[in-house]
């Protein structure tokens, strides 16, 4: 029988956080212990919390005595933007690629400034813009600068909240699975807390049973020769509405009801699955939906009944 462990820390003191870093380091498969790797292996505390407590991710690893897992060069305080003057364009691009490999393929200017021997300002000066430099380096560009609708923001929050099984923190919106940066929420709602409140209000709104016309309004509608306007109920559609999907995940504790796996600890993706298949007359309602991870959902096929 595997060892049972809680999904939260007994103590959030400095030593408690450092002990968690050491615990994760013992099960880390190798290579740099990035924030993303820590979050995947821990699930007990956000990497952003650790980083804020100790003033940086590198500083946290060094205090925990596992600084050799940082995977980056020690940056001297004497190294400033002037270091870029003696570097060729190829050297600068190689530096960007190295920093991208320390964390995520989506490299932000803030991430680069924290770990590089040169500054993002120097990169922009050499290549004209951060975007042009990213393209030359072949690094994925973040999509977090575009404008998003309320629905897109809420859809992203559903994905991130379901991933962590709890309200996400501001800095966690900067990394996958989030595709909408925290700044977009702050601009739209005034603050991160207000954005979360708006999401909760939206998620708790009950719009079950609403209908939408399946054909356009027409002045010919009164013609007795034409068929009457048909309305389609949401429960008769195969696609699970975003708000309903969220309620299914909340009810099931953000875990697969078949195997018990959750995204933070096992890296799975959660689906809202029909218990009685839609193709066989199953309704798209809360009572006929369950949370399944992708492997269990694909393995279920057309079997009937709730997964146990």
**101 assigned to some structural domain:** yes
Q: What does pLDDT average to over the chain? A: 76
Q: What is the pLDDT of residues 20-31, one digit of tens each?
A: 888 888 777 666
Residue 32: which pLDDT band, with cuts at 50, 70 and 90?
confident
Domain contains 173: yes
Q: Is 62:22 a contact under the CB 8 Å cutoff?
A: no
| Residue 204 to residues 41, 168, 208, 284, 297, Cα–Cα distance (Å) | 32, 18, 11, 18, 26
SS3 category, 291: strand
Q: Are residues 167 and 127 in the same domain?
A: no
Query: What confidence tier does 230 reach under pLDDT thresholds 50, 70, 90?
Result: very low
- Report the number of distinct structural domains present in the chain: 4
Domain boundary (137, 161, 182) is at: 137
10 Å CB burial of residue 46 (0-12, 13-18, 19+) is: buried
Domain assignment present for residue 296? The answer is yes
Task: Please check the confidence at residue 45 and state whether its pLDDT lies above 80.
Answer: yes
Q: Are the CB atoms for 46 and 24 separated by under 8 Å? A: no
What are 152-201's pLDDT values in tens digits?
899 999 999 999 999 999 989 988 888 888 888 988 898 899 999 999 99
Are 185 and 173 contacting, i.e. CB atoms less than 8 angstroms apart?
Answer: yes
The whole domain housing 53 covers: 14-69
Query: Using an 8 Å Cβ cutoff, are 135 and 141 in contact?
Result: yes
Kindly report the backbone phi and psi dihedral angles of residue 270, in degrees, each rounded to the nearest multiple of 5, phi listed first. -95, 140
287: CATH: 1.10.30.50
The answer to whether position 228 is within a domain reads: no
Looking at the domain assignment, is residue 164 inside a domain?
yes
Domain presence at residue 258: yes
């Amino acid at each position: 029988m595997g060892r049972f462990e809680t999904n939260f820390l007994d103590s959030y003191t400095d030593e408690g956080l450092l002990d968690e870093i050491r615990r994760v380091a013992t099960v880390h498969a190798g290579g740099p212990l990035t924030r993303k790797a820590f979050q995947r292996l821990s699930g007990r505390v956000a990497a952003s919390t650790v980083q804020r407590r100790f003033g940086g991710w590198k500083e946290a690893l060094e205090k925990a005595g596992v600084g050799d897992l940082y995977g980056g060069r020690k940056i001297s305080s004497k190294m400033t933007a002037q270091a870029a003057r003696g570097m060729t364009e190829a050297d600068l691009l190689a530096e960007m690629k190295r920093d991208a490999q320390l964390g995520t393929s989506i490299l932000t200017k803030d991430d680069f400034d924290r770990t590089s021997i040169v500054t993002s300002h120097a990169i922009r000066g050499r290549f004209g813009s951060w975007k042009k430099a990213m393209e030359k380096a072949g690094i994925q560009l973040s999509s977090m600068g575009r404008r998003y609708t309320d629905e897109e923001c809420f859809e992203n929050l559903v994905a991130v909240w379901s991933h962590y099984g709890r309200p996400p923190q501001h800095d966690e919106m900067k990394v996958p699975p989030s595709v909408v940066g925290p700044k977009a929420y702050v601009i739209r709602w005034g603050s991160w807390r207000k954005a979360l409140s708006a999401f909760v209000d939206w998620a708790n709104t009950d719009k079950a049973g609403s209908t939408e016309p399946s054909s356009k309004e027409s002045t010919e509608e009164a013609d007795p020769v034409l068929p009457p306007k048909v309305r389609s109920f949401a429960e008769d559609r195969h696609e699970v509405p975003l708000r309903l999907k969220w309620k299914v995940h909340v009810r099931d504790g953000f875990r697969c009801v078949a195997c018990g796996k959750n995204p933070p600890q096992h890296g799975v993706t959660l689906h809202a699955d029909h218990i009685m298949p839609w193709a066989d007359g199953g309704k798209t309602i809360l009572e006929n939906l369950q949370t399944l991870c992708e492997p269990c959902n694909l393995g279920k096929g057309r079997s009937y009944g709730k997964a146990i």
